[in-house]
Amino acid sequence: MTKGQAISLQKNDGGSLTAVRMGLGWQAAPRRGLFGSRTREIDLDASAVLFADKQPVDVVFFRHLVSDDGSVRHTGDNLVGGVGQGGDDEAILVDLSRVPVHIDQIVFTVNSFTGQTFQEVQNAFCRLVDETNGQELARYTLAGGGAFTAQIMAKVHRVGSGWSMTALGNPANGRTFQDLMPAILPVL
Amino acid sequence: MTAELVRGQNHPLSQSRLEIRISAGTPVAAAAALSDENGRIHGTEWVAHPGAPVQPGLEVSRQAAADHRLAVDLDAMTEAVHRVSVLLALPAPNGGAGPARFGAVAAPFVAVTGLDGTEVASYTITGLDLESAVVALELYRRQGAWKVRAVGQGYAGGLAELLADQGLSEAAQLAAGIDEAVARGLARSVQAPPPRTSEGDRSRQAAAPAVGHDQGSVPQGAPGSVPPAYGGQPSGGQGQGGPQPAYGAATDPHAASGGPVNYSHPGRQTSAPPPPPPAAPPARPGQPAQPVAGDATGWSMEERLYNQVWGMFEDLARTAAAYRSAVDFAESRMDKELEQALSDPRSRIGGQGDAAREAARARYSQLVDQARASLDRDVAQLVAESQVVEPALPPAFARWDNPCWHAYRVPMEIPMALRLGDLRLPEAEAIRIPMLLRLPLERGLWIDSGRTDSLDGTFTDSHDMRRLAMDTAVAHAARLLAVYPADEFTVHVVDPAGSGAQALAPLSQTGVLAGPPAQGAAGVTEVLARLIQRVDLVQMALRGGAPDALPPGFDTAQQLLIVNDFPHGFDDRAVNQLRYLVDEGPAVGVHLMMVADREESAGYGPLLDPLWRALLRLTPVPDDHLADPWVGHAWTYEPPTVPNGSEVLRQVLTKVAEARRTWNR
């Protein structure tokens, strides 16, 4: 799918989508020379901001791993990245059927906590997966994507009784999701 | 030289004494059927199966296992036998614990070997899906010589269909009998080691010749006389108090036939892989799965239930959080909209303002209704789960009205946790979450006899409150005594004014106390001195690195001191000793249970604040002072109540006292 394209998360057979996972993966920084421990680690962070009527009411990120209602869960902070073979190094799981009724939008963001721009990170990607069947709904290659340290990746929002997803892919700059708030608000 | 067979391929056999090795990724039952030259099985006695494992020239395992060795002696077969079919079946495909179809497990591997272990032929049974029983291979006579053929014919209808297909008229009954025998074997093998043979099994086997060589004797007892005990509760909950001597340790026939040596410690539970959790029946589409007791991770049923209860606790906390945040949001949104409608001067004329207010209220109630609906859905699911979990709880986790207390036996092991009462939230009155506290206790308990205004507005006067508090304390102490093995928990009571004598009757009359309740200041001093000496001794021994060096006759049991009517009978020195016990006691197994009103000791000022803070406060009446660790809701705590007029407490304590007398060394 392309930027700005919206897809409904209703399945064809009428059952609606119940769980999505946002995955983030990147390759650890290569070791440099003699003092191997002095490599400059790369720490990317995935966050999900929950909005009710354009007001942020909850956020799931590495300091708050489970939303109060338990419907959005972060699998835990990864500070260094993986081997870059396509697996998710951080993931956020959303149980859409249990999201509180007043939450109408969930925005997923990626930011570089250690400050490297996506140009400097290898094999970085983020994707949104339908957890029920493992199908990828959206995928962005972050690496080489420009001199940005953050991306507003996608939002899932309520449509009728179900959920719909819009791919955004807006580049932004910031260390944590708080810095991205000004960039998030226009896309709600 | 091994021939790897494909389906339908055959291979000559040069030896007549063979072993057939089976390995599957999951426990399967193995059987062997004999048939004549026309492929007919003549009767049930032509089938060697877990219920009747030995036939002439043929022996199979008595239980389901992932690996089997079948011994076959082709020379010992009668002339009428022309074919030996090796059958595999998943144990109890319907309602059993394991997978229900071969498609869900790794492809089974079958090998025919000589007695020296050399493989003659092997066959991997692939391509199975819905089948729950399969003819793996067959050995057959062809012109006076025996051959082996890879068959791999599966049957979705299980053993019954398989046997019927081979012309056996009693196929259904035999298949049921095999399932029964497998379930019985499972009950024996799954319960953590040592594998116990139930009393019933043993008495029946007494009629069979070779007792003591377990796999040689065939239990021919009527199938079904022993209910499958799978999923039984640990620590003797199933009525088999404690581990029995290693009798029957040879239920695994491998042990005698040169199988792998079992290095696991027979008395250590964690050395055995955990039995599979009870599988939930598949959910009907569009509906939540049926809840099952023990549907959580853990090494034992007890641990699974503990984890499940905590899972329910967290789910309810979070579900309530979702509901509360939605309602809060709806309220704040309505307030904002009403304010807007009021502040807009245009709307003050005409009906516009009313309409805006109306709309705001409608939006509010719509959102709240939605939130309520999803809360109700989640609570209904938890209620259904609670209804299956509560009856399955072992005594330490169970309410006093649970029937398991009537079948109570003094346990051999300390349970993981203790139920202190129930927790509930005002949004979900239909469900009570058991409040489980890990054992051994890490902090003392404080039964608050002070607060006299309860949640529901009823007034309890201070006299009644004290009696209730003491009753509650006795119920907690009785439960602690009951769930610890005999002689591993000792209770001391300090009742300076003797006011708790009536409430203490169940403890003192059954004789489970260390001594009569200590009275007066002298009694207080004496008991405290004894416990302090104990704390010091154990600390010294531990710090000196010589925990074995305690004096002979030293009581190594956990100690609980119940203090009633504090600070009556306590002087300054005794108060300080009590504080010392609270701080240092739990680490060396000395615990405190205060039954007190904090106001009465207000004269000591802030000196006692650390004491109260160090204790876990419980109340004799429902009270909302406990918070959960995830969201921090205020949960209403309900103390455990013994059913009115029930003798269960006294019966249980009598058994504890009895066990102490008989086990006293």
Cβ distance B319 to A70 less than 8 Å, yes or no, reads yes
Q: Are A26 and A81 in contact (CB under 8 A)?
A: yes
Residues B349 and B452 in one domain: no
From residue B444, give the alpha-carbon distance in Å to each of A57, B438, B460, B592, B622.
Answer: 39, 12, 25, 5, 20
Q: How far is B323 from chain A (nearest CA, A)?
A: 7
| Residue B600 resides in a domain | yes
Which whole number is the average pLDDT over B641-664?
86
Which residues share a beta bridge with B47?
A: B33
Q: Is A71 on the interface with B (CB under 8 A)?
A: yes
Cα four-point dihedral sign B45, B49, B50, B53: positive
When computed from its CA atoms, the radius of gyration of chain A, rounded to whole angstroms, is 16
Q: Is A80 on the interface with B (CB under 8 A)?
A: no
Domain count, chain B: 3
Q: In chain B, what residues touch A15 (CB-CB under 8 Å)?
A: 286
Residues B115 and B39 in one domain: yes
Which whole number is the average pLDDT over B495-513?
89
Residues B12 and B57 in one domain: yes
Q: Where are the domains of chain A?
A: 6-28+39-187
| Residue B259 resides in a domain | no
Q: Are A39 and A104 in contact (CB under 8 A)?
A: no
Name the residue among A15, A66, A100 with its Cβ closest to that of B326: A100
Cβ distance B367 to A71 less than 8 Å, yes or no, reads no
Q: Is A52 on the interface with B (CB under 8 A)?
A: yes
Q: Which of B287, B329, B425 to mutate to test the interface with A (most CBs of A within 10 A)?
A: B329
Q: In chain B, what residues touch A14 (CB-CB under 8 Å)?
A: none
Q: Which of A69, A72, A96 to mutate to test the interface with B (most CBs of B within 10 A)?
A: A69
| Dihedral angle of Cα B413, B416, B420, B425, to the nearest 10 degrees | -150
Question: Nearest CA to B473 among B500, B513, B436, B509?
Answer: B500
Q: Is A14 on the interface with B (CB under 8 A)?
A: no
B187: pLDDT strictly greater than 60: no
Cβ distance B370 to A71 less than 8 Å, yes or no, reads no
Cβ distance B370 to A101 less than 8 Å, yes or no, reads yes
Question: Nearest CA to B151 among B29, B8, B28?
Answer: B8
For residues B207 and B229, what is the distance between their CA atoms, to the nearest angstrom? 23
User: Closest-CA residue in chain B for A97?
Assistant: B374
Cβ distance B329 to A102 less than 8 Å, yes or no, reads yes
Q: Quickly list DSSP for B490-543.
A: EEEEE-TTSTTHHHHHHHHHHT-BSSSPB-HHHHHHHHHHHHHHHHHHHHHHHH
Please provide residue B433's backbone torsions phi and psi, each rounded to the nearest 5 degrees.
Answer: -100, 130
B335: pLDDT strictly greater than 60: yes
Which whole number is the average pLDDT over B569-575?
89
Residues B378 and B430 in one domain: no
From residue B506, give the alpha-carbon distance in Å to each of B405, B410, B473, B638, B654.
Answer: 16, 17, 12, 22, 9
Name the residue among B318, B330, B367 with its Cβ closest to that of A69: B318
Band (B203; pLDDT cuts 50, 70, 90): very low
User: Closest-CA residue in chain B for A53?
Assistant: B333
Q: Which residues contact A174 (CB under 8 A, 6 or more apart)?
A: A111, A149, A150, A180, A183
Higher per-residue confidence, B604 vs B197 = B604
The secondary element (H helix, E strand) that includes residue B153 is strand B145-155
| Residue B273 resides in a domain | no
Q: How far is B353 from chain A (nearest CA, A)?
A: 22
Cβ distance A58 to B325 less than 8 Å, yes or no, reads yes
Q: What is the CATH number of the domain that holds B569?
A: 3.40.50.300
Q: In chain B, what residues touch A68 (CB-CB under 8 Å)?
A: 318, 321-322, 325, 630-631
Band (B616; pLDDT cuts 50, 70, 90): very high
Decide which of B192, B215, B240 is a domain's last residue.
Answer: B192
List, for residues B31-90, the tens digit of each pLDDT value: 888 888 887 887 888 888 887 888 878 888 877 778 888 888 888 888 888 888 888 888
Question: Domain range spanning residue B17?
Answer: 3-192
Residues B47 and B97 in one domain: yes
The CATH code of the domain at A6-28+39-187 is 2.60.60.30
Mapping DSSP to helix (H, G, I), strand (E, B) and coil, where does residue B477 land? helix
* Half-sphere exposure of residue A1: CA atoms within 13 angstroms, side-chain side: 19
Mean pLDDT of chain B: 79
Residues B342 and B428 in one domain: no
Percentage of residues in chain B with pLDDT exceeding 70?
81
This prediction has a pTM of: 0.64
pLDDT at A123: 83
For residues B199 and B477, what is the distance between their CA atoms, to the nearest angstrom? 33
For residues B345 and B362, what is the distance between their CA atoms, to the nearest angstrom? 22
Residues B133 and B98 in one domain: yes
Instruction: Return left, alpha or beta for A99; rule: phi > 0 is left, psi -120 to 50 is alpha, else beta.
Output: beta
Residues B365 and B431 in one domain: no
Q: In chain B, what residues touch A100 (CB-CB under 8 Å)?
A: 322-323, 325-326, 371, 374
| Residue B203 resides in a domain | no
For residues A126 and B89, what is the distance between their CA atoms, to the nearest angstrom? 46
Residues B385 and B453 in one domain: no
pLDDT at B436: 94
Q: Are B88 and B24 in contact (CB under 8 A)?
A: yes
Q: Are B436 and B419 in contact (CB under 8 A)?
A: yes
Cα B291–B380–B319 angle (5° rounding)?
100
Joined tokens for residue B647:
């003798």
List, for residues B508-535, the tens digit of each pLDDT value: 888 888 888 888 888 899 999 999 999 9
Interface ipTM: 0.83
Cβ distance B326 to A102 less than 8 Å, yes or no, reads yes
Name the residue among A53, A68, A71 with its Cβ closest to that of B333: A53
Q: How far is B632 from chain A (nearest CA, A)?
A: 10
Q: Is A70 on the interface with B (CB under 8 A)?
A: yes
Residues B570 and B506 in one domain: yes
pLDDT at B190: 41
Q: How far is A95 from chain B (nearest CA, A)?
A: 12
Q: Between A and B, how many residue pairs show a Cβ–Cβ distance under 8 A? A: 53
B457: pLDDT strictly greater than 60: no
Q: How far is A169 from chain B (nearest CA, A)?
A: 29
Cβ distance A68 to B318 less than 8 Å, yes or no, reads yes
List, for residues A104-150, the tens digit of each pLDDT value: 999 999 998 888 888 888 888 888 888 888 888 878 887 766 788 89
Percentage of residues in chain B with pLDDT exceeding 90?
26
| Residue B412 resides in a domain | no
Q: Is A1 on the interface with B (CB under 8 A)?
A: no
Q: Which amino acid is at B223?
A: P
Cβ distance A102 to B319 less than 8 Å, yes or no, reads no
